[in-house]
Amino acid sequence: MRTFERRDLMGTPSKVTLASPARPWLIAYLVVAVADMVARLVHAEVIDLIGLVLAMPALAGVLLASRPQRTRMIWLVLVSLFFSWLGDWVGDIIQPHVLIKIVFFFLAHLCYIAAFWPFWRHSVLRRPLYLAGYVVVIGVLLAWVAPHSGRLAPALVAYGITLAVMAILATGVHRLTGIGAAIFVASDLSIAVFTFVFPDQFSADGFVIISSYLLAQLLIIIGVIAASPATAAQTGAPRPMVEQP
């Protein structure tokens, strides 16, 4: 078993356990992720593209090899990874690439929303203060970026709202899923900022975007695995990011 230690809101250590067959897939994902991040730093575009083609299939392998029950959530998460995979590389070879990426990741987030919806009672939707934080931060960033995006502004706003809903619902699944979704928000909004507000002004923007994105997807999947019935019995009852009083 591969374990990841985490702490609940009371500071009590607990562990997320991956089945042994998932370990090679996890190693493969980490190798691909590191190679992709290095490729971004040195502007090795071919290696970067190969890494993006391989990353999400490896992560899907982690999920399936962990042997969770094939619940509705698991299937929807797999479909989300498929759309994420398409968004990772198809948008780099077909123009207009920004709009293509928005469409595929929009579909990916819709699948995540459908997967996480049954957990909404454990999410920040039941905690107005936490919820307000998500709404204010994402709303302010969208209000800042949208005027710079021209004709893509409606698509950008719609995507941002969908992204926010996904991140909010993810907090009800598992703490790691909630953290991963929050990092996903930061990664995607950084794409918008670097693309529309400060284009070509930061040499390391690609590295920041890809590293945060790959980390976000990994944390989301590990949290989903921990929250699935087959693995929850091994780690104790899965805890949402924000627990009810």
What is the rounded average pLDDT of the residues 118-143?
92
Q: Is the pLDDT of residue 181 over 80?
A: yes
Q: Any idea where the domains of the chain sit in the sequence? A: 2-235
Stated as kind and residue range, the H or E segment containing 99 is helix 97-116
Amino acid identity, position 119: F
Place of tokens 């087959």: 230
Distance CA 12, CA 143 (A): 39
5 vs 105, more confident: 105
pLDDT tens per residue across span 143-152: 999 998 888 8
What is the rounded average pLDDT of the residues 177-189?
95
Distance CA 1, CA 59 (A): 17
Contact 241, 175 (CB under 8 A): yes
| DSSP symbol at 43 | T
Q: How confident is the model at residue 240 (pLDDT cuts 50, 70, 90)?
A: low
Q: What pTM does this model have? A: 0.86
What is the rounded average pLDDT of the residues 181-193?
92
pLDDT value for 3: 47
Contact 163, 109 (CB under 8 A): yes
Q: Is the pLDDT of residue 133 over 80?
A: yes
Stated as kind and residue range, the H or E segment containing 223 is helix 205-227
Q: How confident is the model at residue 234 (pLDDT cuts 50, 70, 90)?
A: very low
| DSSP symbol at 115 | H
Q: How confident is the model at residue 78 (pLDDT cuts 50, 70, 90)?
A: very high
φ, ψ of residue 220 in degrees (nearest 5):
-60, -45
Contact 222, 25 (CB under 8 A): no
What is the rounded average pLDDT of the residues 59-73?
89
Please count the CA atoms within 13 angstroms of the CA of 201 that sit on its side-chain side: 9
Torsion of CA 99, 103, 105, 106, to 10 degrees: 120
* Tokens coding 209: 């975007």
Query: What is the rounded end-to-end Cα distance, in angstroms, of the chain?
Result: 32
pLDDT value for 99: 83
φ, ψ of residue 39 in degrees (nearest 5):
-60, -40
pLDDT tens per residue across span 83-96: 999 999 987 787 65
